[in-house]
Each structure stands twice: as structure tokens, then as C-alpha cells.
Chain A
Amino acid sequence: MSDKNKKGPESKTYKFDTLSLHAGYQPHKNAGSRQVPIYQTTSYLFDDVDHAAALFNLERGGHIYSRISNPTVGVLEERVASLEGGTAALATSSGMSAIFLTVMTLCEAGDHLVVSSQLYGGTVNLFRLTLPKFGIKCTFVKPRDTEGFKKAIQKNTKGIFGELVGNPGNELMNMPEISKIAHDAGIPLIIDATYQTPYLCKPFEHGADIVVHSLTKWMAGHGSSMAGILVEGGNFDWMQNDKFPTMTKPYEGYHGLSFAEEFGPTAFTMKARAEGMRDFGPCLSPQNAWNVLQGIETLSVRMKKHCSNAEEMVKYLLDHESVAWVSHPSVPDHPDHALAKKLLPNGRGSMIAFGIKGGKDAGVAFINNVKLASHLANVGDTRTLVIHPASGTHSQMDEATLKFAGLSHDMIRLSVGIEDIDDIKNDFEIGFRAARKPRLVSNQ
């Protein structure tokens, strides 16, 4: 080989599919057990008083009490951190508790956040109704209104939060541009990437600073276990300004520790665990962590099938006489199609929103009559799921909030599973037939 063609040394750190199976776990430290053991315990023996003190002072790594950390949960945390390209992660009992811990680690009473308006209904309620009780206010901005995020930033703003692809309207945030806006203002960008998983998008590569997931969804896939996680990118400089004193100033709760000085690229996670998990306690059970790990082992295999089935369903729905409109980033005339190609090169995800002709009544008839697709309040299961958001997941919103969040009464939210595509289409035909004759079917 000539020198011209010589590629030079290449890093041989493990790649995505290998990390999905192995990251965070060393069998030789676990009795040679090939599978990750479930450490079903509340607490851990100290060698002596000095060892106990060292663990409590963060002088040494290790486990004290399973509310704060657990070896099985720790494997899951490292595995997700590795897949996201992050420095550290903290697993929680649900995706909502991951968002709550993120906000409570970042903010104090009197602080403000800029938040995308297109979010899961529960997240909207957290930002709109619950966080103000803690003195944290939010300004909502439509996900495509990039300039609006900039205009909404105030002196006391501590971060920008959003779902990369909004639930359920499938509108994208321009993550690279919005991250520049956040960083110019000296604040982090927090992205809920539940819909994508790191297989479809690694937000840290596009400027995000913290990523949160509901692991309950595609990451686990099996729909058996609640779990969430926050992941730190490690690139945000908490010491660049005086906006984050709880990260940079001595913390009374740990003998005057400055998280930013001592832990740098993992400071946020260390604080979220040492303070947030200690004081609020939404810990993940080791059994659920193990269940999620089983799902992550096949993440890339499943995501490929989710995405190919979703693209098939998009084509089917676009051609269907009962469908008024289809929203999915793979559709060429979707307003965010080009951005989705850039941010989601491995597939545009398996969430589809579509409008059914006949409005709300037709939607109800469709959902009541499909047999294979499951009507339930979850997404990202290996099984196909459907729901009518206006009467289900987002039913606690008033009319104006629904409109601002991009929801309509004819909208069906579809989470495409990995069943045989023909079976999904046949099932939808039953639903559409019923929707065309809603009264007749409901009387049967």
C-alpha cells in the first residue's frame, strides 16, 4: 500500500451494537456471570467506619443504599451513557422523574425555562402547572419557531427544554440552531430524545447538553417496565458565568463540595444523584433496570424494523381514502423533512400522526374497532399502538392549549410496532371500515 492510501491508526473503541450488549458490565467482577446480575438489595456492607465515611464524602466510588445507586441500575446507566456518547447518566423510576430531577438540579425558585410547546401531555402539565408551585416559571415556544426560543430567554432563564420530535404532532426542533441560541445565552439545551433513542439520533452530536429518555418506550421495547434516565454530554461549562451557583459554589450538603470543580464533565449527574436522588428519591428498581437492559440488547435490530414498518405505513395512509392528512418526517412535503434527514439519518422514527376523515366520531370508531393495534397510553412498544390524543394522553388540556400544542380532534397517534406489516394494514382496514360507518358499528 502506498503512503497516500495509508489510513493511519484507528480507534478501536467498541461500536454501537457491541456497546448495546456489553457496556457498563465486567463479568470478571461479578462471579463470571455472563448475564448482568439483579442486585435485589437495599443496602451494601461497609468494610469499616472509614470506608463508610469515604463513601458518604464521595471520596470513593461505590454503593451505599439503592435509592442512590445500585450495581444493576449502574450497568444500565453506563450502557445508555455509552450509547449516547455521554459522560454519565442517572436512571430514574420513569421518564417524568428524569425530567423532574433534571429541572430540580438545574433550577431554583425564581428561575425560568424556555420550553417547546409540543410535548407529551404529562410533561406540559409539569411545566405549566406543577413547576410554578416550586417557583420555576416557563415560557412555551412552538418547536419550529427557532427565533422564538431566543426571544423568550430572560435574565433568570436556566435552560431550554424540548422533545426533538414533538409528541404527537411530529414537529421538529432545529436542535443545532437552538443549541447555538442556548450556548450564546450561557445556558444548556435539554432534549427529550425518547422518540429517537440513540440509534436514530445522538443529540450531543448536534449541540444538546443533557438528554432525557423515557426508557419505558423504544429503549426497553417490551412494554413491561417503567424507567427513565438523564444523560450528561459533559461539554457544558457550568463555570462560564454566575447562573449556576449550585453547581459552582461550595455545597453545604457535601462538606463544601463544588460539583463543577471536582467533577467537571460529570458534575451535573453527580449533583442530580447526590442531591436530587438523595432528597427526592425516584430511584429505579434493579428488576426494572434489568428488564430494560434486555430490551437495549436488541435496540438497533428493533429500530430498523420499527422504521421500515413506519415508512410502509406512511405510504399506506397517504394513499388511503379515509385519511385526511399524515404527519411523519419521512413524508417529502413534511415541513421538517430536510431537517429530519440531517438529524435522523438512520430512520425518521415510528411515530405517525394522521387525521381521519369524519373527525372525532370517526376517530373513536376506528380506535374501538382495530383488533391487532392496542389502544393504550404508551408509545414505543414492539406492538403497534394507537390512541386519540384529544380524548386520551392530552385530555387534560383546554381547547386553547390543545391548539397551541398542534393537536386536532381528528388526530390519531400511531406508534408502529414490528409485527408483519400486512397484518397491521389489514387491521387498519377493519378500523377504517368502521370509521366510515361510525353509528352502524357502534350499535353492533
Chain B
Amino acid sequence: MKFKVNGDEIFASTGGRPFDKNKPLIIFVHGSGLTHMTWVLQTRYFAFHGYSVLALDLPGHGLSKGKSLKTIEDMADWISSVIDAVGYKEASLVGHSQGCLVTIECTARYPDKIKTLSLMGGAGAIPMNPELLALAENGDPKAVDLMMDWAHGPAGHFGGHPVPGLYHINTGGMLAKSRTIKDTLGVDFRACDNYKNGFEAAKKIKIPTLSILATDDKMCPVKEGKKLADLIEGSKVDIIDNCGHMMLLEEADRVLKVLKSFITTNYPSKN
């Protein structure tokens, strides 16, 4: 669905169901340079099972208008504005990669608005490889190729997409190239690299939090994810074997199972 946030027309997938304000809201926040489509194997399930879902395209990404936001802090404030814009007072947040930084910061800033937090491939900081950052800021497609290489585990490099006929690396690459690379991936990578408040923000989080990590994640390794989770009181951690950073696609069913259990327990729907 399309709606306005801070004057810009924003697109969010509602998981194939009409947006219903009577249901609890789950907001999904994508990673650097990507779009709402990375969440298709999680969002549709929740939309058909009692929740209202918004898998956002961040400003300047996917089908959303406006310009990419330049800092994680701005993105965190923007998520709060999204909740206001759709007429809700609270929401459950799910983030992947850069989306974890955004949702951690948002939860720390707006503790009354956020009810549960689910982090996938998250870390307290995501410093960028300087060469990768330079390639992305120069709009070089090689940045996308490198990201797809590093983001998929050894198993994911062979394929094995849960949806028959889809091929991981080329699909992800096409999503990351769907808008101008330097204006999406380049801006996002710089925002990640500049963000230093992740560990401090984590210490302020007092709501139920889940971290899903993967053994073959090169971008946000398990030890970094655990370091973050250790700072969040009562945080749950689930580790997936034989899987890389794109766990929400590489091991979509496993991710959905863990996420379903966590959200339905801590943020149940009455519908």
C-alpha cells in the first residue's frame, strides 16, 4: 500500500492482505540497498494469521519515493513516523542487517511505542569494508556482486531457494540494482559505517528481543550478534547452521518458525 510519511509517498507490502487497523502491527525493515521483497516468506504468513504487516521500502528504495535517509538515527525516527502515519500507537519491529541497527535505535528512542524486537543478522555496529563502501558510493555494480557473494553462505551460493525455481544470488542482486546503486546502497553503507550508538542503544532496550544469527554469516558474524544480544536484558538467541547473512531467504522456514513462536508469544493477536 502507498501512504505519506513526512510528505513523501511510501510503499509497504501488506503481505497480500488488506491493511486492517484493528490488528496488531508488525513492521519489517530491510537491509542495505534492498527492498520489501526480501521479507516475502515471512510477511505473508503473519498477514494471513491475525496481524497487520508493513514490509517497508525505505525512502528512495524499491517503490518508495523521496531520498534515501543518510543516518541510522534518521531512519529510526522515520520508523516512528511510519507508526504515527498509519494511525497506530505501537508496533512490533523486525529488522535485517542494517534494519537491525535502525530498529535497535528506534526501540531505544521510542520505548513506549515498540513492543517486541526481532533482529536477523544483527550486530551492534556494522563497519564497512572501505573498498566495498567506495564501490557502492561510486555506483559500481561490483559492489552488489560483492555484497551478494558475502551475504550468502556456502550453501546459499549453490542455490536451494525455498521457493521452487528462484535463484538466490541473482534475485538479491537484481533487488539491489533496482534503483541507482550510489543513491541506495552507497548511502546505506555510509550510514551503517557512521553509526556508533548500537551498543549504547541496546543497553536501553527492555522489551522482549530475539536475535537470529547464522553460523556462516560473514557480514554480521555470530560472535558480533551475541555481543549485541548480551547487552539486551532477557534477549533470546537462535543460531542457524549452514546459513549465511541472507537467512530470511536462505533458511526462510526456520526463520519463520522461530519468529512465529516469538511474536505470537510476546505480541499475540486476538484475531
Could you tell me which A residues sit within 8 Å of B by CB distance? 8-14, 22-26, 28-29, 53-54, 57-63, 69-71, 73-75, 77-79, 81-82, 85-91, 234-235, 239, 254-257, 261-266, 269-270, 273
Contacts and interface: CB of A to CB of B under 8 A. Distances in A.
Contacts of A257: 16
Contacts, number: 152
Given A58-B16, A255-B16, 17 more contacts: A8-B131, A10-B146, A24-B159, A26-B158, A58-B44, A59-B41, A60-B253, A60-B256, A74-B165, A78-B161, A78-B167, A81-B167, A82-B169, A262-B16, A264-B178, A265-B37, A265-B171
Contact of B16 (A25, A28, A239, A254): A254
A81 B170 contact: yes
A214 B261 CA distance: 45
A14 to B, nearest CB: 6
Interface in B2-34: 13, 16-18
Nearest to B62: A264
Contact of B171 (A22, A28, A88): A88
Interface centre among A14, A59, A75 (most CB of B within 10 A): A59
B: interface residue count bin: 35 or more
B164 A265 contact: no
Interface string B141-177: 0100110110000010111111111110111001101
B175 A264 contact: yes
Contacts of B142: 11
B262 interface: no
B165 A11 contact: no
A86 B171 CA distance: 8
B98 to A, nearest CB: 19
Given A11-B148, A58-B44, A78-B160, A24 B167 contact: yes
B236 to A, nearest CB: 22
Contacts of B161: 61, 78
Interface centre among B37, B159, B171, B256 (most CB of A within 10 A): B159
Contact of B37 (A59, A90, A239, A264): A264
A259 to B, nearest CB: 10
A87 B166 contact: yes
Contact of B165 (A9, A22, A88, A265): A88
A263 B37 contact: yes
Nearest to A265: B174
Contact of A234 (B41, B157, B170): B170
Contacts of A87: 166-167, 170-171, 174
B240 interface: no
Nearest to B38: A264
A63 B132 CA distance: 38
B92 interface: no
8 contacts: A11-B146, A23-B158, A25-B159, A26-B158, A54-B48, A88-B171, A235-B174, A265-B37
Top-7 shortest CB links A-B:
A61-B162, A69-B164, A61-B163, A234-B174, A265-B174, A59-B44, A77-B165
A53 B157 CA distance: 30
B78 interface: no
Interface centre among A8, A14, A23, A58 (most CB of B within 10 A): A8
Contacts of B129: 9
Contact of B149 (A13, A24, A29, A91): A13
A273 B165 contact: yes
B214 to A, nearest CB: 14
A54 B15 CA distance: 12
Nearest to A73: B164
B35 interface: yes
A13 B174 contact: no
B160 A25 contact: yes
A273 B163 CA distance: 11
Interface of B: 13, 16-18, 35, 37, 40-41, 44-45, 48, 62-63, 129, 131-132, 135, 142, 145-146, 148-149, 155, 157-167, 169-171, 174-175, 177-178, 242, 252-253, 256
A263 B165 contact: no
A86 B159 CA distance: 12
A12 B41 CA distance: 27
Contacts of A60: 41, 44-45, 162, 252-253, 256
A170 B170 CA distance: 31
A325 to B, nearest CB: 41
B219 to A, nearest CB: 13
A61 B160 contact: no
A55 B45 CA distance: 10
A261 B165 contact: no
Nearest to B47: A59
B48 A23 contact: no
Nearest to B162: A61
Contact of A12 (B44, B149, B155, B174): B149
Nearest to A26: B160
A78 B18 CA distance: 32
Given A57-B48, A262-B40, A269 B16 contact: no
A75 B149 CA distance: 20
A88 B48 contact: no
B221 to A, nearest CB: 17
Contacts of A75: 159
Contacts of A262: 13, 16, 37, 40, 44
